[in-house]
């Protein structure tokens, strides 16, 4: 997989120190989607130091992609051993990461830590180093997890969700209609409907879509499993709403095929495996006139701030993962009136 790599003159000819630290991130409420529920997440922080320069990157493992603490730790140990005296610049790092075929979330944590160290050394920003546009303050969506319908309004009011310009609703095929009808009765913001692959056929999705006419639907995200390509090709021309690919686009995809199935792509850096590949995915989508979205896992503001770097010009920003935490150990981002800004 060819990637664009910026030319960076700084060379590192002495040993770099790579480390991993695991964090338990307790959540403010139960995070439930169609495939699982959790009260906390375990993320890892990758650090790389070279003399006085240091960079950090976040790893948010996702069981959907067979990423666990154990698989991430084992892969990091393999990387650390292989990296000794081998990495002198970003191109060396990208070559090694490609050879090792690490889990995507870990690959992002490692690459972002290295790029953040380069930025520290060069006293510059990520978007300047990668020669991309600086993003402005970003209006993010905020997500409802799956919950009982009689809890939805109180959740909306308690969390003051009226300040967000777009709301994302996690559903499964069983609770969808009642959940959306309830939210539509008290919320005015456009809705992103995220089914996390819980529908099983195009006909089932169309039947569901026919119940949404009274709602302000911004898009529907990955309603069926990613392997149902023919069903997606059947669904796309029938859908009155933009269909956004999530699980169908990880670190790579046949984008001509994706364009036959979806109207847009949700790029997450933890799936893409790095800044460089994430930017490539967004560019491939734009080449085909697909809508672009930048999303996240449950992450600290370290990971979310990283994602903010690539958000200039995207159609939808969905970076609420740090707002779900009881405590954010980095506090790099300020959210105000639904907009994200760096502190």
- Cα-Cα-Cα-Cα torsion 250, 275, 302, 41, nearest 10 degrees, comes to 20
Q: What is the pLDDT of residue 258?
A: 98
Residues 70 and 25 in one domain: yes
- As a whole number of angstroms, the distance between CA 142 and CA 318 comes to 7
Helices (H), 48-201: 69-83, 90-100, 104-122, 126-129, 152-158, 176-184
In what helix (H) or strand (E) does residue 56 lie, and over which residues does it extend? strand 53-59
107 and 250 both lie in a single domain:
no
The predicted model gives 241-248 an average pLDDT of: 97
Residue-wise pLDDT tens digits, 323-336? 999 999 999 999 99
Do residues 205 and 309 share a domain? yes
Q: What number of CA atoms fall less than 13 Å from residue 135's CA on the CB side?
A: 25
* Residue 117: CATH number of its domain: 3.30.390.10
- From residue 138, how far is each of 142, 242, 264, 339 by CA, in Å? 12, 21, 19, 5
3 found inside a domain: no
32 and 69 part of one domain: yes
Instruction: Look at residue 1 and tell me if it is in a domain.
Output: no
SS3 243: strand
Name the burial class of residue 116, with classes exposed (0-12), middle (13-18) and buried (19+) by CB atoms within 10 angstroms of its CB: buried
Query: Are 46 and 108 part of one and the same domain?
Result: yes
pLDDT at position 257 over 50: yes
Give the pLDDT confidence of 263-308 residue by residue, as tens digits.
999 999 999 999 999 999 999 999 999 999 999 999 999 999 999 9
Residues 6+ apart with CB under 8 A from 135: 127, 308, 309, 310, 311, 312
Tell me the pLDDT tens digit for each residue of 126-149. 999 999 999 988 999 999 999 999
The domain tally of the chain equals: 2
- Asked whether residue 152 falls in the same domain as residue 101, the answer is no
Residues 55/218, Cβ–Cβ less than 8 Å: no
| DSSP state for residue 113 in the 8-state scheme | H
Distance separating alpha carbons of residues 46 and 56, to the nearest angstrom:
6
Q: What is the pLDDT of residue 131?
A: 93
What is the distance between the alpha carbons of residues 135 and 112, in angstroms, rounded to a whole number? 18
Does residue 12 register a pLDDT over 80? no
Q: How confident is the model at residue 58 (pLDDT cuts 50, 70, 90)?
A: very high
Are residues 217 and 296 both part of a single domain? yes
pTM of the predicted model, to two decimals? 0.93
- The predicted-structure confidence for 189-243, as pLDDT tens digits, reads as follows 999 999 989 999 999 999 999 999 999 999 999 999 999 999 999 999 999 999 9
Domain that holds residue 215: 138-342
Based on the fold, state whether residues 205 and 311 are members of the same structural domain. yes
């Amino acid at each position: 997989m060819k990637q664009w790599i910026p030319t960076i003159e700084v060379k590192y000819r002495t040993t770099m120190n790579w480390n991993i630290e695991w964090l338990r991130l307790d959540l403010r409420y139960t995070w439930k989607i169609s495939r699982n529920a959790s009260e906390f997440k375990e993320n890892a922080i990758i650090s790389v130091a070279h003399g006085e320069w240091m960079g950090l990157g976040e790893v948010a493992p996702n069981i959907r992609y067979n990423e666990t603490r154990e698989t991430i730790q084992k892969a990091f140990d393999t990387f650390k051993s292989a990296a000794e005296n081998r990495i002198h610049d970003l191109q060396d790092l990208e070559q090694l990461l490609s050879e090792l075929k690490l889990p995507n979330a870990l690959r992002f944590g490692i690459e972002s830590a290295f790029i953040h160290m380069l930025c520290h050394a060069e006293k510059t920003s990520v978007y300047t180093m990668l020669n991309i546009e600086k993003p402005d303050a970003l209006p993010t969506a905020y997500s409802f997890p799956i919950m009982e319908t009689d809890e939805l309004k109180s959740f909306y009011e308690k969390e003051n969700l009226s300040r967000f310009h777009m709301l994302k609703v996690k559903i499964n095929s069983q609770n969808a209609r009642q959940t959306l009808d309830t939210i539509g009765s008290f919320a005015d913001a456009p809705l992103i409907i995220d089914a996390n692959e819980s529908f099983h056929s195009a006909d089932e999705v169309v039947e569901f879509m026919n119940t949404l006419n009274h709602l302000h639907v911004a898009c529907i995200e990955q309603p069926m499993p990613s392997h149902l390509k023919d069903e997606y090709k059947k669904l796309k021309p029938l859908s009155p709403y933009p269909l956004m690919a999530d699980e169908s686009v990880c670190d790579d995809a046949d984008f001509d095929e994706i364009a036959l199935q979806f109207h847009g792509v949700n790029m997450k850096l933890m799936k893409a495996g790095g800044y460089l590949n994430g930017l490539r995915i967004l560019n491939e989508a734009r080449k085909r006139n697909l809508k672009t979205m930048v999303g996240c896992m449950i992450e600290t503001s370290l990971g979310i701030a990283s994602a903010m770097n690539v958000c200039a010009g995207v159609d939808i920003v969905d970076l609420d993962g740090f707002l779900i935490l009881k405590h954010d150990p980095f506090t790099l981002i300020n959210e105000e009136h639904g907009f994200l800004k760096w502190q």
